[in-house]
Amino acid sequence: MATLKQIRARIRTAKNIQQITKAMKLVAAARFKRATDRVQEARPYADKLREVMLSIAQSGELPQNPLMEKRPIHRACVILLTSDRGLAGSYNTNLIRKTSDFLKAQTVPTSLITVGKKGTQFFSRRGYEVLRAISVPSAGATLQMAEEVANLAREKFESGEFDAIYICYAKFFSAIRTVPQMVQLLPIEPPTSTNLVSPSSGGAFDFEPDAHSVLNVLLPRYFLTLVWQAMLESTASEFGSRMTAMTSATDNAGKMIQKLTLTANRERQAAITKEILEVVGGAEALKG
């Protein structure tokens, strides 16, 4: 049975932890708001670019481009987006598990480009080849990071070192719902949709100066947009998961403080009662 002094020490510790988790919750909430705004602002651009890609693909036969070259897969690469810090619930665990299952199912050698220390530490310790490890700032991923990752992946794919590039990220739905996604980025395949007007009813495209030049500009931008959108989704998912986890931790610390305070009061009352009984007993003994 813990003594009253030990219980009070636990109460102080729980209060300190509660202050830390509450501060982390407030910071995560502020960053979560900014991250969700960035996701909402970027989605229309990504959706419109996807529509343009679909319309061009439907307009007829496309010229050859290195980013669309399909070949037998002998080596692959996965871009894994995690966080640098923990205390974000199951955010990192779900992404690492998704990537681990994917790697185990592969029949060809697969390397990694990791964004975030959690993914880097997990897979490097298990002997996987990590081509590039990138740290994530506390405020979230930046466009420069997306450009670095996209340029590296493009270079490795166009040189023939890898025949397929995948990305694993957490798709953001809400603060309490994020879903790990494994998506193939390269070779680029034109998106499909039944909601857009078919070329038969909308007419053909005229390319200026020519289709090859247009694709040489459009496809790298489209690829960068896919990487950047995945990073934005992951950033919002990370802050949402951390805010939710810290809210739960703060509430649990409050419940623990309440329980320990009740226990401490009972112990204090029991000690006072014991002392009163001892005084009464001593007085009775003196009378006798």
Enumerate the domain spans of the chain.
25-193+205-244
Residue-wise burial string across 7-26, b where 16 or more C-beta atoms lie within 10 A, e elsewhere: bbebbeebeebbeebbebbe
Of the candidates 42, 79, 35, which has an alpha carbon nearest to the alpha carbon of residue 178?
Answer: 35
pLDDT at site 190 = 67
Q: What is the pLDDT of residue 205?
A: 66
What pLDDT sits at residue 198? 44
Angstrom distance (rounded) from CA 281 to CA 277 = 6
SS3 labels along the chain:
CCCHHHHHHHHHHHHHHHHHHHHHHHHHHHHHHHHHHHHHHHHHHHHHHHHHHHHHHHCCCCCCCHHHCCCCCCCEEEEEECCCCCCCCCHHHHHHHHHHHHHHHCCCCEEEEEECHHHHHHHHCCCCCEEEEECCCCCCCCHHHHHHHHHHHHHHHHCCCCCEEEEEEEEEEECCEEEEEEEEEECCCCCCCCCCCCHHHHCCCCCCCCHHHHHHHHHHHHHHHHHHHHHHHHHHHHHHHHHHHHHHHHHHHHHHHHHHHHHHHHHHHHHHHHHHHHHHHHHHHHHC
Supply φ then ψ for residue 133, to 5 degrees: -115, 120
**Which CATH class, in words, describes the domain spanning 25-193+205-244?**
alpha beta
pTM greater than 0.85 (yes/no): no
pLDDT, one tens digit for every residue, the chain (288 residues)? 678 888 889 999 999 999 999 999 999 999 999 999 998 888 888 888 877 777 776 666 667 778 888 889 999 999 999 999 888 889 999 999 999 999 999 999 999 999 999 999 999 999 899 999 999 988 888 999 999 999 999 999 999 999 999 999 999 998 889 999 999 998 887 666 544 444 444 456 677 777 777 778 888 898 999 999 999 999 999 999 999 999 999 999 999 999 999 988 888 888 888 888 888 888 777 776
